[in-house]
Amino acid sequence: MANGPVRVRFCPSPTGNPHVGLVRTALFNWAFARHHGGTLVFRIEDTDAARDSEESYNQLLDSLRWLGLDWDEGPEVGGPHAPYRQSQRMDIYADVANKLQDAGHAYECYCTAVELEARRDAARAAGKPSGYDGTCRNLSAERIARYKAEGRPAIVRFRMPDGPITFNDLVRGELTFTQDNVPDFGIVRANGAPLYTLVNPVDDALMQITHVLRGEDLLSSTPRQIALYKALAEIGVGNGTTPQFGHLPYVMGEGNKKLSKRDPEASLNLYRERGFLPEGLLNYLSLLGWSLSEDRDIFSMEEMVATFDISDVNANPARFDLKKCEYINATHLREMDVKDFIEACGPWLKAPHAPWRPEAFDRAAFEEIAPHAQTRLTVLSDITANVDFLFLDEPVEDEASWAKAMKEGSDALLRTARAKLGDADWNAEALKNAVLAAGEEHGLKLGKAQAPVRVAVTGRTVGLPLFESLEVLGRERTLSRIDAALEKLAAA
C-alpha cells in the first residue's frame, strides 16, 4: 500500500471520559497498523491546560490496555520521537512557529476580536466569504511598530497559499477545497500558547506519520494541515512528505443525530461496567463503517487485522445500534472456552457487585452452573442475578415475580412437588420428572408447574434452567425454600 513502513497515530486530547467514537478511531488505526506490519503511535494532545486532566489521561491509557489495543510508541513505551505528550513539547512548537514566520509562512495578526467581528458582519452582509480577510498579511514595519507600542496583543496566523487544495481521501476519494473556504488561520495564541492547528501537523511531520485516519468531524481542518505540511517541508521540519488522509464516517445515535460524547450510550466506561468483553465491543465498533464480509458480523480481532483495508471503509454515516452491540457481545460470550468464561466472571462474583457474603461463595457450585449461564448472558454483569440463589441465605425477594407465579392452587402444587422432589434422586432429569408428575396431578403442564417452584427457590420467574439449578443448589436447601414459601402462602 504505502512505500515504506506504515506509521499511524492515535492522538486524543485527555478531556472527559473515553467514548465509543474515540475507540472506533483507535481501533481502525490499530488494525491498519497491524495489517501492514506498521507502527501505531499513541500521542497525547494535551495542550489545552484548561480542559485536559490527568485523570482523563490515565483513563485513556487504562482503556486502551483493557481493550487490548497496544501501541508501539507513546506513553509508557517510549520511542524515538519522545516525548509523546504535547504538553512536554512546547519548545518544539515555539521554534517551528518562529521558523514559519521567518520564512514568511506565518505572520502576526493584531486584529482585535471586535474588529474581526465587524469585518465578518460586513462581509456577510455583502455576500462575501466571511473568514479572515488577510488584513495583517502585509502590514508595514511602521504599523507593526505602532501596534507594538500600543501594546496590542498579536496571534500568529498561517498564510494559506493561493489556489484550491485537492487531496485524495482514502475513504471518500478526491476532495477539493476552494481558497474562500480555507482562510488564513491562527496557530499561536496571543499568550504564546500553540494551537491544535499547529501542533497536530507539526507532530505528524516530526513523527513521520504516513496515514492519518480520523473522524469526519476533522475533515475541515485537513486542507489547512496539508498546506502547513508543505510549509513544514520547506523549512525542513519532518521528512517532507504529506501523509494520506482517511476520514472515518460519523456515528449516528438515537433519532439519527450524531452520537455525542455526552450521550450516555457513548461512554466506554458504561460498557466496561456492564461487563462487555473487549473482543465483543471491538467487534461491534469495527462494524461502524467497515465489515469483514457481507455475511459475517462475528469475528475476532485477528480476523479483522488480517482483512482490514482502509479503502473498504464506507463513507456513509454509521448507526450505533445498542441491541446489535449486545447481540455480538453475547455471541462472543457463548463462544468462549468455559474456563475463560469462569475467569471472566470473577469480578462480578465479589463485592461490590455480588450481594452475598463473601464466605458464602462456593466455587465448585459456580463452576457447575457456569456452562448453563454462559449461553444466556448478554454481558458479564448479568451473572450475579443469575446465580445469586446459590449463594444468598434466602432467595431474593421480588414481589412482582411472587405475584406472577403464586396463583390460586400454587400451595397445593408446591406441597405435591415438595413430596415428589423429596423422594427423587438428586439429578436434573429426576427432578424434572418429579415436577412433571406433580403438575399432572394438578392438571398443569410443566411450564406452569415449575413457575411456583422456581420462585420459591430462586425468588425470580426467570433464570437458568430450573432443574440444573436445583441439582446444584442441593436437596436440603431446595426443600427448605419450598417449605418457607408454603409458610408465606399460608400466612397470606
- Stretch of residues binding ligand GLU (CB under 6 A), selected from 9-17, 268-276, 375-383, 427-435: 9-17
Segment 120 to 179, residues that bind Zn ion, using CB under 5 A:
135-136
Cβ proximity to ligand GLU: between 204 and 382 the closer is: 204
Q: Name which of 46 and 184 has its Cβ closer to ligand GLU.
A: 46
The position carrying cell 475507540 is: 23
The site string for ligand GLU over 203-232 (x = CB under 6 A, - otherwise) reads -----------x---x--------------
CA 484 to chain CA mean position, Å: 46
Establish if 184 lies at the interface with ligand GLU (CB under 6 A).
Answer: no
Which of Zn ion, ligand GLU, none does residue 136 bind to, with CB < 5 to 8 Å depending on kind? Zn ion
Quick one: CA torsion of 232, 237, 240, 241, rounded to 10 degrees?
A: -80
| Closest to 298 in 3D by CA, of 283, 278, 313 | 283
Whole-angstrom Cα distance, residue 421 to residue 53? 61
Which of 99, 261, 404, 448 does the annotation list as catalytic?
261
By the rule CB under 6 A, 11 interacts with ligand GLU: yes
Per 3-state DSSP, the chain is made up of helix, strand and coil in percentages (nearest 5) of: 55, 10, 35
Cell reading at 366: 459456580
Choose from ligand GLU, Zn ion, none: what does 111 bind? Cβ within 5-8 Å by kind.
Answer: Zn ion
Residue 482: CA count within 13 A, CB half-sphere:
26
Stretch that binds ligand GLU, among 5-13, 307-315, 373-381, 392-400 (CB under 6 A): 5-13
Q: How far apart are CA 1 and CA 5, in angstroms?
A: 9
Exposed / middle / buried, residue 263 (Cβ in 10 Å: 0-12, 13-18, 19+): middle
Counting Cβ atoms within 10 Å, is residue 80 exposed (0-12), middle (13-18) or buried (19+)? Answer: exposed
In this chain, which of 11, 33, 109, 438 binds Zn ion, going by CB under 5 A?
109
Closer by beta carbon to ligand GLU, 6 or else 328: 6
Cα torsion angle, 197, 200, 206, 208, sign: negative
| Unique residue bearing C-alpha cell 455525542 | 260
Q: Residue 205 Cβ, how far from Zn ion at the closest point, in Å? A: 26
Helices (H), strands (E): how many in the chain?
20, 11
Q: What are the two backbone dihedrals, phi and then psi, of residue 121, each rounded to the nearest 5 degrees?
A: -60, -45
Identify which of residues 194 and 275 has a Cβ nearer to ligand GLU in the complex. 194
Q: How far is the CB of 135 from Zn ion (least distance, A)?
A: 5
User: Residue ranges of the alpha helices (H) in 76-130?
Assistant: 90-102, 113-125
Least distance from C-beta 24 to ligand GLU, angstroms? 12
d(CA 94, CA 47): 13
Distance CA 107, CA 111 (A): 12
DSSP run (H or E) holding 248: strand 244-248
Q: Binds 207, which of Zn ion, ligand GLU, none (CB < 5 to 8 A, cut-off by type)? A: none
Q: Which does 109 bind (CB under 5 to 8 A by kind): ligand GLU, Zn ion, none?
A: Zn ion
Using the rule CB under 5 A, is 331 a contact of Zn ion? Answer: no
**Using rule CB under 6 A, residue 242 touches ligand GLU:** no
Contact pattern for ligand GLU over residues 30 through 69, marking x by CB under 6 A: ---------------x------------------------
Does residue number 200 form part of the binding site for ligand GLU (CB under 6 A)?
Answer: yes
Are residues 47 and 87 in contact, defined by beta-carbon separation less than 8 angstroms? yes
Whether 261 sits among the annotated catalytic residues: the reply is yes
- Cβ distance to ligand GLU smaller for residue 11 or 377: 11
Q: Pick the closer one to ligand GLU by CB: 112 or 220.
A: 220
Q: Which residues are catalytic, by number? A: 261
Binding residues vs Zn ion (CB under 5 A): 109, 111, 135-136
Rule CB under 6 A: which residues touch ligand GLU? 11-13, 45, 200, 214, 218
